[in-house]
Chains A and B, each alone.
Chain A
């Protein structure tokens, strides 16, 4: 996004993807989270699950090689990795609800210091877009959120309490923004790593709740 400070969208995704451990089953939400599958994380074996029942999808299909009956959660025509399987929707959400997803990565409008997050409904909106977000949020072993650090008018998205309707409460374990990597502590956010070009004071000024800073704070390694 032009004009925003710190990490690019792909760099935020890269930082989260480096958390994935060998053998994990991971669900990537629409938007920036999808970009986690582009990150080079060596020979770690990750199985990507999509809510429409595709278990073990690979990269987006090359132009001219799309199977129009094979999509990921974002509706992109993806490929299958060797060993993939397809199940129906009730079974796919059995995978989710049953606690078989090691990590889900989602976008959000807001994350609170108690680990609540909001991503399905704007203020004053009638209806909303929940999709599979509430199921994933309630049931995945880890919930990772990627979002821009501030709104377009400069308000914090990391807040003391969400003022938008929440998707789930107390579930967020890790947050990557263009400013840094954070974890909700209950009374604020702990800054785990900082983006190149940002200062702790920049972040303190744009973050809701108390900001703790990890001892020996490292700068996020950026590829290329």
Chain B
């Protein structure tokens, strides 16, 4: 195994070399697994014309945490690829909507399972796959379908990434990761699809070999840079969401 530690000294250092025009995926489903600190660092770093991949553009919940909508507001984004480009509740308006409606930012709306599988496919060397999801809907209009064993399927292409930003509970210096509860969500899948994966880590990063190989969730071969999340207020941690009255 590698002897060199993948631990970096700061979030700024970990994102310093990200060029304009990159495709970057962000783990997270609600707060768990969301790389809040890396999002903030990327806003300061300032790379532009980015294509961002995430479950949602964010901003529907309070308190608002760093989300990819903020990178949009910061003028860094050309396109988003998400399962939500609008809120589930029609009365909620996402911060992203204004930029999308005006044509400043493009969006590709992808069903959540298809989004995950497109990245899984990219990481596993599968160029495309057929899925029953979205058959018969507006999303399938004009696209290639095929009937297999009597059922219609839609062709979906792999989604390779330049970078994946993720968050995990535990890491060793070789980049092996363990997630806590629903932190896991898209994170392991995105890590496999990216040329460079950067992970922000909750607990102090351990010496290589500290995690039993049988217990690794994401192998270090998929993880290139680690940054330790400092305590609040310097570091950003999940908070309790404010429940809204209906």
Residues of A within 8 A of B (CB): 30-31, 50-54, 66-71, 75-77, 80, 86-90, 92-93, 96-97, 121-122, 125-135, 138-139, 165-170
With A and B bound together, what is the CA distance between A68 and B61 in angstroms? 14
CB distance from A41 to the nearest CB of B (A): 24
In contact, A90 and B137 (Cβ under 8 angstroms): no
Contacts of A77 in B (CB 8 A): 240-241
In contact, B137 and A167 (Cβ under 8 angstroms): yes
Q: Contact flags (1/0) for B172-194 with A, using CB distance below 8 Å? A: 00000001111111111100000
Knowing A88-B187, A88-B188, say if A131 contacts B61 (CB, 8 Å).
no
Identify the 3 closest CB pairs spanning chains A and B, nearest first. Answer: A93-B113, A127-B85, A135-B113
B32 on interface, CB distance cutoff 8 Å: yes
The interface centre, meaning the residue of A67, A80, A132 with most chain B CB atoms within 10 A of its CB, is A132
CB distance from A51 to the nearest CB of B (A): 6
Among A86, A129, A135, contact of B181 (Cβ-Cβ < 8 Å): A86
With A and B bound together, what is the CA distance between A167 and B132 in angstroms? 12
In contact, B181 and A67 (Cβ under 8 angstroms): yes
Q: Which of B88-126 contact A (CB under 8 A)?
A: 88-90, 97, 100-101, 107, 109-114, 116-117, 119-120
With A and B bound together, what is the CA distance between A130 and B139 in angstroms? 11
17 A-B pairs (CB sep. < 8 Å): A31-B88, A31-B89, A50-B182, A66-B240, A69-B180, A71-B182, A88-B116, A89-B189, A90-B116, A97-B117, A126-B97, A127-B85, A127-B107, A129-B86, A131-B84, A132-B111, A169-B137
> Assuming A52-B32, A134-B113, A169-B136, what are 5 further A-B pairs, CB within 8 angstroms?
A31-B89, A68-B240, A70-B181, A76-B241, A80-B181
* A84 nearest in chain B by CB position: B181
In contact, A134 and B133 (Cβ under 8 angstroms): yes
Among B31, B111, B133, B179, contact of A71 (Cβ-Cβ < 8 Å): B31
* A128 nearest in chain B by CB position: B86
In contact, A88 and B181 (Cβ under 8 angstroms): no
Among A31, A70, A92, A139, contact of B132 (Cβ-Cβ < 8 Å): A139
Residues of B within 8 A of A (CB): 29-33, 55, 61, 83-90, 97, 100-101, 107, 109-114, 116-117, 119-120, 131-139, 169, 179-189, 217, 237-241
With A and B bound together, what is the CA distance between A168 and B133 in angstroms? 8
* A165 nearest in chain B by CB position: B138
With A and B bound together, what is the CA distance between A69 and B179 in angstroms? 9
Knowing A127-B85, A129-B86, say if A53 contacts B182 (CB, 8 Å).
yes
In contact, A135 and B112 (Cβ under 8 angstroms): yes
* A122 nearest in chain B by CB position: B90
Contacts of B109 in A (CB 8 A): 127-128, 130
The interface centre, meaning the residue of B86, B112, B136 with most chain A CB atoms within 10 A of its CB, is B112
* A29 nearest in chain B by CB position: B88
CB distance from A23 to the nearest CB of B (A): 24
* B61 nearest in chain A by CB position: A75
CB distance from A72 to the nearest CB of B (A): 8
* A119 nearest in chain B by CB position: B88
Contacts of B240 in A (CB 8 A): 66, 68, 77
The interface centre, meaning the residue of A51, A77, A128, A166 with most chain B CB atoms within 10 A of its CB, is A128
Among B83, B184, B189, contact of A131 (Cβ-Cβ < 8 Å): B83
* A170 nearest in chain B by CB position: B136
With A and B bound together, what is the CA distance between A137 and B85 in angstroms? 19
Among B117, B139, B182, contact of A86 (Cβ-Cβ < 8 Å): B182
In contact, A127 and B100 (Cβ under 8 angstroms): yes
With A and B bound together, what is the CA distance between A86 and B32 in angstroms? 13
In contact, A30 and B88 (Cβ under 8 angstroms): yes
CB distance from B214 to the nearest CB of A (A): 16
CB distance from B18 to the nearest CB of A (A): 24
In contact, A130 and B132 (Cβ under 8 angstroms): no
CB distance from A113 to the nearest CB of B (A): 16
Contacts of A133 in B (CB 8 A): 111
Among B83, B136, B179, B187, contact of A132 (Cβ-Cβ < 8 Å): B83
